Amino acid sequence: MEEVFTSQSCAVARIMSARQAVLQQSDEVARLSSGDKAARIERLDRLLFDVRAGRTYDFTMPTAHGEVRIFVTPD
């Protein structure tokens, strides 16, 4: 698993990019039911709020190449 140390603003940008990618995927391409897609969006939204508020400094995000562990450093 890849590990990345990044600023809070970069972590927020990564989460927003991941959220946008999920929103743009069609259910057929992603092979997700609408419930799974909604659950992923909800998880990313929660993560986004927690990182912005400074409640989360370490999290794992799935990517196209596997999972990435992100460590957030103060801006």
Which tens digits make up the pLDDT trace of 4-35? 999 999 999 999 999 998 888 765 555 656 67
pLDDT at 5: 95
Mean pLDDT of 39-67: 89
Helix, strand, coil proportions of the chain in percent (round to 5)? 55, 25, 20
Give the chain's length: 75
Order the strands of the 58-63 sheet from edge to edge.
2-7, 66-73, 58-63
> Considering the chain, what is the average pLDDT of its residues?
85
Q: Is the pTM of this model over 0.85?
A: no
In the chain, % of residues over pLDDT 90: 51
**CA atoms lying within 13 Å on the CB side of residue 5:** 2
The total domain count for the chain is: 1
What CATH number is attached to the domain comprising 38? 1.10.150
18 lies in which domain range? 2-73
